[in-house]
Structure 1
Amino acid sequence: MIEPMLATLVKEKLQLEGKWVIEPKYDGERIIAQRNKDKIDLWTRRHVNAAYKFPEIVEALRRNINSDNWILDGELTVEGGFRQLLKRNVEDKFKIGILSWKMPATYNLFDILHLDGEDLTNKTLLERKGILLKAVYFKEGIDIVPFQEAGDSNWKNRFKEYLDEGFEGVVLKKAHSTYEAGKRSDKWLKVKKQDTVDVYVVGATRSTGSIPFGALILKKDGKFLGKVGTGFSDRDREIILHILKKNQAPLDIELPPEVESELLISTRPLLAEIRVQEMINGSPRAPVWVRFRWD
Structure 2
Amino acid sequence: MFIDPMLLSTADNPFSHSNYIFEPKIDGHRLMFSQTNGRIRLYTRHETECTQQYPELLAPFDHDILLDGEVACTGPDGVDFEEVMIRFKAKKDHRIKELTATSPVTYVVFDILQYKGEDLRKLPLIQRKEILAGISMPNQHFGVIPFVEGAGEALFNQMVNRKLEGMVGKRKNSLYVSRRSPAWQKVINWSYADVFITGYRKEEFGWLAAVPDESGRLRPAGIVEYATQATRKEFYSKSRALVTGEDKKFVYLSPAIRGRVKFRNWFKSGMLRTPVLTELIE
Q: Which residue of 2 aligns with 1:79?
A: 74
Shift of 1:291: 5.7
* Counterpart AA for 1:9: T
Is 1:203–1:216's contact at 8 Å kept on the other side of the alignment? no
Cross-structure match for 2:273? 290
1:218 paired with 2:214, answer no
Aligned partner of residue 121 in structure 1, secondary structure: coil
Q: Distance in 2 between matches of 1:44 and 1:259?
A: 39
Q: Does 1:66 align with 2:65?
A: no
Corresponding residue SS for 1:84: helix
Hey, what's the Cα distance between the residues in 1 that align with 2:7 and 2:229?
20
- 1:174 paired to 2:167: no
Matched residues in 2 for 1:221 and 1:4: separation?
29
Deviation at 1:113, TM superposition (A): 0.3
Distance 1:216 1:278, change over 3 A: closer
The code of the aligned residue for 2:73 comes to V
- Residue in structure 2 matched with residue 158 of structure 1 by the alignment: 155
- Kindly indicate whether residue 12 of structure 2 is the aligned counterpart of residue 11 of structure 1: yes
Q: What is the Cα deviation at residue 87 of structure 1?
A: 1.7
SS in 1 for 2:12: coil
1:168-220 deviation digits (Å, cap 9, x = unpaired): 11000011111112x111111111124369xxxx6889xxxxxxx99557245
Deviation at 1:82, TM superposition (A): 0.7
Distance of aligned partners of 1:196 and 1:66 in 2 relative to their CA distance in 1, 3 Å threshold: farther
Shift of 1:101: 1.3
Shift of 1:8: 0.9
TM-score (norm: length of structure 2): 0.69
Q: 2:40 and 2:163 mapped to 1: Cα distance?
A: 31
Structure 1 position 56, deviation (Å):
0.5
**2: CA distance, partners of 1:139 / 1:73:** 17
SS at match of 1:27: coil
- The alignment covers a number of residue pairs equal to 225
Using the TM superposition, give the Cα deviation of residue 46 of structure 1 relative to its aligned residue in structure 2, in angstroms: 2.7
Given that residues 32 and 42 in structure 2 are in contact (C-alpha distance below 8 angstroms), is that contact kept between their aligned partners in structure 1?
yes
SS in 2 for 1:157: helix
Report what 1:42 is aligned to: 42
Moved over 4 A (4+): 202-205, 213-217, 219-226, 256-260
CA contact (8 A) 2:67 2:114 kept: yes
Whichever residue aligns with residue 11 of structure 1, its letter is D
Across the aligned residues of Structure 1 and Structure 2, the Cα RMSD in angstroms comes to 3.5
| Cα distance in 2 for residues equivalent to 1:118 and 1:277 | 52
> For the structure 1 residues 4 and 148, does the alpha-carbon distance in structure 2 shift closer, same or farther, using more than 3 Å as the test?
same
Shift of 1:279: 5.0
Q: Distance in 1 between matches of 2:22 and 2:221?
A: 39
Going from structure 1 to structure 2, the CA distance change for 1:94 and 1:164 (only over 3 Å counts) comes to: same
d(CA) in 1 for partners of 2:4, 2:246: 35
Query: Which of 170, 188, 191 matches 2:184?
Result: 188
CA contact 1:195–1:277 (8 Å) conserved in 2: no
Q: Say if 2:14 and 2:153, in contact at 8 Å, map to a contact too.
A: no
**1:166 Cα deviation (Å)?**
3.2
SS of the aligned residue for 1:156 comes to: helix
SS, match of residue 62 in structure 2: coil
Percent identity reads 25
The Cα offsets for residues 228-272 of structure 1, whole Å up to 9 and x where unpaired, read as xxxxxxxxxxxxxxxxxxxxxxxxxxxx99889317xxxxxxxxx
Q: 1:86 to 1:224 in 2, by over 3 A?
A: farther
Superposition TM-score, scaled by structure 1 size? 0.66
Alpha-carbon distance in structure 2 between the residues aligned to 1:109 and 1:196: 30
- Per the alignment, residue 236 of structure 2 pairs with none
Q: Which runs of 5+ in 1 are unaligned?
A: 206-212, 227-255, 264-275, 281-286
**In structure 2, how many angstroms separate the alpha carbons of the residues matched to 1:259 and 1:195?**
31
Superposition pairs of residues 260-275 of structure 1, within 5 angstroms: 261-262=248-249
State whether residues 218 and 225 of structure 1, in contact with CA within 8 Å, keep that contact through their aligned partners in structure 2.
no
> For residue 136 of structure 1, what is the aligned residue in structure 2?
136
